[in-house]
Homo-oligomer: A and B are copies of this chain.
Amino acid sequence: MSQTNTRGKLYAISTGPGASDLITVRGARMLGELDVLYAPAGRKQGDSLALSIVREYLSSKVQVRTRHFPMSSNDDEKIAAWDAIAQEIVHQVQQGLRVGFVSLGDAMLFSTWVFLLERLEHQIDIEIIPGISSYSCIASSAQFPLCMEQQSMAVMSCTAPVQKLASALTDHECVVLMKVYGRFAAIKQLLGELKLLDHAVLMANASMDNELSYRQLADVSDDIELPYFSTIIVNRAWSTR
């Protein structure tokens, strides 16, 4: 058994933003060597965007376990759910299995993977494979730079207070505004007040078949229905006009 036990390991594999070929070569190769793969399911039972991104790289022998993972761990029920998943993974790794966990975008940035990491980092052997974050993909796709030379960048969630977003937009040449969903009107107003509407792009579902892109934010209706994965990048040193 000792030989088998040495092989056991947990791999957190970042999928990148959505297109299957925007995963890393390392991630794609590792997916083909897994015994078990955990894939996070969205709200609908059994649906996993992360799994659909990586499916082409899996071997025929891998056992896929699609699970609904809580998006936070801030109450007893959610803590118990993460603890249970962590224990299940420990058990499999101790049996000598190569276990994968796929994470959208980059596993270390706004990812629930960290709830597993904090439970498992001293218990089992772990390898994390980084990925392209959504904003990096948006910058390339929209041909809209993030920052240069002595400039700086802030990555914010639009769930933050407007005053905090305004400070970031004043302090940094580039600001990435994640989670625009449901908050577009307020963000558009803020960008207007700061005269930044001509220095921003809005993109949803970057690199996926249903990608949406807007380069003239002043022309976008306040009550537009945006998809869940919507992000605005502001760069006051770059103009869309």
Hey, which bits of chain A sit against chain B, CB under 8 A?
Answer: 12, 14, 16, 19-26, 28-29, 72, 106-111, 114, 117, 121, 126, 128-133, 136-137, 139-141, 143-157, 159-160, 164, 167-168, 171-172
Contacts and interface: CB of A to CB of B under 8 A. Distances in A.
Contacts of A150: 157, 159-160
Contacts of A128: 139-141, 143
A100 to B, nearest CB: 14
A139 B168 CA distance: 23
Q: Which A-B residue pairs are the 6 nearest by beta carbons?
A: A108-B139, A128-B140, A21-B26, A130-B140, A21-B25, A153-B155
Nearest to A105: B136
Nearest to A207: B130
A152 B156 contact: yes
B133 A129 contact: no
Contacts of A14: 140
A26 B16 CA distance: 12
Contact of A114 (B21, B145, B156): B145
B109 A136 contact: yes
Contacts of A140: 12, 14, 106-108, 128-130
Given A24-B21, A171-B171, A130 B139 contact: yes
B152 A154 contact: yes
A3 B141 CA distance: 25
A22 B28 contact: no
Nearest to A19: B26
A179 to B, nearest CB: 9
Nearest to A56: B25
Contacts of A144: 108
A159 B149 CA distance: 9
A136 B154 contact: no
